Chain A
């Protein structure tokens, strides 16, 4: 039988862990012994691409053919990367990274069944895109799992804990905070909050901006346009090469500052200018302070949603490489009154936990067939009860008390925090005599928002009503949310007919069956090194 694995597909780094013969998860290093792989793809001219460290090294020499941080674009329907003479979707790029991880897993043989992790705040489209990427890479994707949940599962398998636990996951590109309760072998997720644009890469960017702003005076010129800090360049100009070179040095300095109070940043720009600056840890902490305040506010929101306060928390787990920044631990210690747990490897815990979740999903899917007794015994040690991390609703016309008028607003059907799997129904009515159709728009939001302009529409159905439908006829809308946090929609019409469907996406970034086949053929033709 093939190996069962979990993959942490990160914004900046990815990792793969597989269950060994005694059912324990282990990180699978690449051919060079690296336990984590940069999530970077560099295209060559000959229909091939390289993934990992070598790809990342090409940034400062030829950034136009290098793609990184693709996780931030998963589910962005319009986004395309133009590199290597072709155009590629975020799903295709992610599939290349996954394909590389899969191929490097020689010591475990063929990796078949995987669970891929996603940030807890990932929406419906982003989750589907991640699963599509796995399928494109030739993997049997058993499902997606939230990163904090995976880390918590791994932690609980190493060090049994009872009580309320906070998982503070600050990675390369995303931040999640999850509150869960563990009692014996039962783990219940209580709440989750996150931000998809907050992570180590933003700290590198802020440090780069600081250095470049100071250098402007000394050098008497602009090294590159300021808009590079908002939208990363993808051309091969001297300016963009300079930007990536300084970013790379900034990342090194950032890591240095986690172990010492001072770091030096030295770089020679593509135009031949020499940059040299000393950075104090205290300066760096000031530069990233507003980002850390954001994480603190998300933590407060998560506690509030869970109905808890800081005093109710028994343990804090740190996940993600950016939690190595000393200020993070200090902030959390000040918040909770005790130091966070540091026994987990923050770069690896998510992948290791994902492997355990893959074992659980495999057992559930096959009834245990294809799963060794050792794996069975090991992964059965903990059960997890997830909750919805988003609000799902639909647009309807309601009377807005404050404004004194009937307005189209967002009506919530599934609330965040609802235990999974779940099914919720709300009954609406038709608005006019003889209404011909009803348009059901499926919405999602991180908060309970009624303003239709501030929610995301992730799907739409136009359903015909029976002829001569009386006014105020009932239309029942049911949302079902499964443990992969994928949504199903059912609409009961006034004549009793029921329309059922997965969300069908009109967006280009989300692949239909035929598009999947075309993308798979394209990926097969690519050599991923």
Chain B
């Protein structure tokens, strides 16, 4: 990437000086901002956003001739509250002083009145891979490239900008922040609902929820943000705590889970981690709690295997054994079986569980080994019946 400089090259057949005078009176140079596909040396195709320029770059000022200039490009989009930056994963293109993409060229020789650095055709100033950019929001965006020419002797530079429409298919970083704020509210609300689904809330469970809120607040620096977050989360707890009827608890939970379905995966798993901690707080896996958790995970669209792995760690078999009211149905659920499965499907699921637990019987962690032995025994007992 670079600028072609061709000092003294004739264009239209005029004398150099006349040409320079004529061109200098025009708009000094133009920029173009495009989305395109480029092919790398190894044949790999890459989608990029490119800023291209054409024309003469000179000082545009007739009092102090400038001899050097830097061209700087910054990318941004328009949000509800004004300009929002676009972040680049390539460190050298990320501004140190302010969040956002920032490319600065090498110093260029420019001279007032004569042909300085110029090009007659479009020349690529910078191309940045789309995959290295994180946009603030998902969806249709108006992306602007702003070009500054910074002269060494003159403080202000010429500014040019160009805009393209771009559809961002991924969640943006502002989306993520807003989603995370909402996600915390959903998390504490669901945690209180899980706590109450067995008909009562206990102190261990309340402690878990309180600890979660404290942890979220501790990560914030801004005083206003801390107070706002505390208030919104505590309000969520109070609101949800007021729901006493178990069928209403379940309906409310499923509604929140449906909202959480659109959250990022990492946020869903963070929420589920909290819910499992609450369910396991009293060291007993109540059937109402586990069934409710299953339905929440399913509604949230969580990966089945990953959810099961989390549940196996948070609610080991010993907690199911502590539940005197729980029966074989709960044990089968723990092994990923459900009544709608055929015998061959159940056998296949048990085989999958067996592959997981059998090797752990010789784990050097005594708790893991104990859990694994019990699981293998349980698998054997259920398998015998099939």
* A297 within 8 Å of B (CB atoms): yes
* Cβ-neighbour of B355 out of A76, A447, A453 (below 8 A): A447
Query: Would you call B362 and A290 a contact (CB within 8 A)?
Result: no
Set of chain B residues within 8 Å of A290, measured between Cβ atoms: 377, 380-381, 384
Separation of A297 and B350 alpha carbons in the complex (Å): 9
Distance in Å: Cβ of A400 to nearest Cβ of chain B: 8
Set of chain A residues within 8 Å of B303, measured between Cβ atoms: 402-403
Query: Would you call B266 and A403 a contact (CB within 8 A)?
Result: yes
Query: Would you call A402 and B305 a contact (CB within 8 A)?
Result: yes
Set of chain A residues within 8 Å of B355, measured between Cβ atoms: 301, 447
Query: Would you call B359 and A402 a contact (CB within 8 A)?
Result: no
* A521 within 8 Å of B (CB atoms): no
Query: Would you call A404 and B383 a contact (CB within 8 A)?
Result: no
Query: Would you call A446 and B358 a contact (CB within 8 A)?
Result: yes
* B210 within 8 Å of A (CB atoms): no
Separation of A138 and B265 alpha carbons in the complex (Å): 59
Residue of B nearest to A471 (CB): B91
Residue of A nearest to B377 (CB): A290
Q: What does the 1/0 interface line of A33-59 toward B look like (CB < 8 Å)? A: 000000000000000000000000000
Separation of A451 and B357 alpha carbons in the complex (Å): 13
* A197 within 8 Å of B (CB atoms): yes
With A196-B362, A290-B377 as contacts: A402 and B264 at CB distance below 8 Å: no
Set of chain B residues within 8 Å of A195, measured between Cβ atoms: 358, 361
Residue of B nearest to A77 (CB): B364
Q: What does the 1/0 interface line of B257-278 toward A look like (CB < 8 Å)? A: 0000000111001000000000
Set of chain A residues within 8 Å of B358, measured between Cβ atoms: 195, 294, 297-298, 446
Q: Which of B170-218 contact A (CB under 8 A)?
A: none
Set of chain A residues within 8 Å of B306, measured between Cβ atoms: 400, 402-403
Q: What does the 1/0 interface line of A439-480 toward B look like (CB < 8 Å)? A: 000000111010101101000000000000000000000000
Separation of A405 and B379 alpha carbons in the complex (Å): 32
Secondary structure at chain B's binding surface: helix, strand, loop or mixed? helix
Query: Would you call A289 and B359 a contact (CB within 8 A)?
Result: no
Separation of A293 and B380 alpha carbons in the complex (Å): 6
Set of chain B residues within 8 Å of A298, measured between Cβ atoms: 358
Distance in Å: Cβ of B384 to nearest Cβ of chain A: 6
* B279 within 8 Å of A (CB atoms): no
* B360 within 8 Å of A (CB atoms): yes
* B74 within 8 Å of A (CB atoms): no
* A300 within 8 Å of B (CB atoms): yes
Separation of A289 and B385 alpha carbons in the complex (Å): 11
Query: Would you call A433 and B91 a contact (CB within 8 A)?
Result: yes
Query: Would you call A403 and B265 a contact (CB within 8 A)?
Result: yes
Set of chain A residues within 8 Å of B269, measured between Cβ atoms: 403-405
* B376 within 8 Å of A (CB atoms): yes
* B251 within 8 Å of A (CB atoms): no
Separation of A300 and B368 alpha carbons in the complex (Å): 24
Q: Which of A179-230 contact B (CB under 8 A)?
A: 195-197
Separation of A294 and B381 alpha carbons in the complex (Å): 10
* Cβ-neighbour of A297 out of B354, B361, B381 (below 8 A): B354
Set of chain A residues within 8 Å of B354, measured between Cβ atoms: 294, 297, 301
Separation of A228 and B345 alpha carbons in the complex (Å): 38
* B15 within 8 Å of A (CB atoms): no
Separation of A298 and B380 alpha carbons in the complex (Å): 11
* B227 within 8 Å of A (CB atoms): no
Set of chain B residues within 8 Å of A449, measured between Cβ atoms: 356, 359
Query: Would you call B384 and A404 a contact (CB within 8 A)?
Result: no
Query: Would you call A454 and B376 a contact (CB within 8 A)?
Result: no
Residue of B nearest to A445 (CB): B359
* Cβ-neighbour of A405 out of B266, B309, B361 (below 8 A): B266
* B351 within 8 Å of A (CB atoms): yes
Query: Would you call B380 and A405 a contact (CB within 8 A)?
Result: no
Separation of A197 and B351 alpha carbons in the complex (Å): 19
Residue of B nearest to A286 (CB): B384
Query: Would you call B384 and A289 a contact (CB within 8 A)?
Result: yes
Query: Would you call B383 and A300 a contact (CB within 8 A)?
Result: no
Distance in Å: Cβ of B377 to nearest Cβ of chain A: 6
Query: Would you call A301 and B351 a contact (CB within 8 A)?
Result: yes
Distance in Å: Cβ of A471 to nearest Cβ of chain B: 8
Distance in Å: Cβ of A202 to nearest Cβ of chain B: 11
Residue of A nearest to B365 (CB): A453
Set of chain A residues within 8 Å of B361, measured between Cβ atoms: 195-197
Set of chain B residues within 8 Å of A445, measured between Cβ atoms: 359
Query: Would you call A404 and B380 a contact (CB within 8 A)?
Result: no
Query: Would you call A451 and B309 a contact (CB within 8 A)?
Result: yes
Separation of A300 and B306 alpha carbons in the complex (Å): 25
Q: What does the 1/0 interface line of A59-87 toward B look like (CB < 8 Å)? A: 00000000000000000100000000000
Set of chain B residues within 8 Å of A293, measured between Cβ atoms: 380, 383-384
Set of chain A residues within 8 Å of B309, measured between Cβ atoms: 451
Residue of B nearest to A457 (CB): B364
Separation of A357 and B355 alpha carbons in the complex (Å): 31
Set of chain A residues within 8 Å of B305, measured between Cβ atoms: 402
Residue of B nearest to A406 (CB): B266
Query: Would you call B364 and A456 a contact (CB within 8 A)?
Result: yes
Query: Would you call A402 and B265 a contact (CB within 8 A)?
Result: yes
Set of chain B residues within 8 Å of A196, measured between Cβ atoms: 361-362
Residue of A nearest to B380 (CB): A290
Distance in Å: Cβ of A370 to nearest Cβ of chain B: 38
Separation of A433 and B94 alpha carbons in the complex (Å): 15
Query: Would you call A294 and B376 a contact (CB within 8 A)?
Result: yes
Set of chain A residues within 8 Å of B373, measured between Cβ atoms: 197
* Cβ-neighbour of B362 out of A197, A405, A433 (below 8 A): A197
Set of chain B residues within 8 Å of A400, measured between Cβ atoms: 306
* Cβ-neighbour of A300 out of B351, B360, B362, B380 (below 8 A): B351
Q: Which of B336-380 contact A (CB under 8 A)?
A: 350-351, 354-356, 358-364, 368, 373, 376-377, 379-380
* Residue picked from A301, A403, A445, most chain B C-beta under 10 Å: A403
* Cβ-neighbour of B356 out of A402, A403, A447, A456 (below 8 A): A447
Distance in Å: Cβ of A501 to nearest Cβ of chain B: 23
Distance in Å: Cβ of B146 to nearest Cβ of chain A: 28
Distance in Å: Cβ of A155 to nearest Cβ of chain B: 27
Q: Which of A376-418 contact B (CB under 8 A)?
A: 400, 402-405
Set of chain A residues within 8 Å of B380, measured between Cβ atoms: 289-291, 293-294, 297
Distance in Å: Cβ of A18 to nearest Cβ of chain B: 32
Separation of A327 and B305 alpha carbons in the complex (Å): 36
Separation of A143 and B358 alpha carbons in the complex (Å): 28
Distance in Å: Cβ of B97 to nearest Cβ of chain A: 19
Set of chain B residues within 8 Å of A291, measured between Cβ atoms: 380
Separation of A518 and B148 alpha carbons in the complex (Å): 76
Set of chain B residues within 8 Å of A405, measured between Cβ atoms: 265-266, 269
Distance in Å: Cβ of B183 to nearest Cβ of chain A: 13
24 contacts between A and B (CB under 8 A): A290-B381, A293-B380, A294-B380, A297-B350, A297-B354, A297-B379, A298-B358, A301-B351, A301-B354, A301-B355, A400-B306, A402-B265, A402-B303, A402-B306, A404-B269, A405-B269, A445-B359, A447-B355, A447-B356, A447-B359, A451-B309, A453-B313, A454-B359, A454-B363
- A contact residues vs B (CB 8 Å cutoff): 76, 195-197, 289-291, 293-294, 297-298, 300-301, 304, 400, 402-405, 433, 445-447, 449, 451, 453-454, 456
| Chain A to chain B: the 3 pairs with minimum beta-carbon distance, closest first | A404-B265, A402-B303, A290-B380
- B contact residues vs A (CB 8 Å cutoff): 91, 264-266, 269, 303, 305-306, 309, 313, 350-351, 354-356, 358-364, 368, 373, 376-377, 379-381, 383-384
With contacts A293-B384, A447-B356 known, what are 14 further pairs, Cβ within 8 A?
A: A289-B384, A293-B380, A297-B358, A297-B379, A297-B380, A298-B358, A301-B354, A402-B305, A403-B265, A404-B265, A447-B359, A449-B356, A454-B363, A456-B363
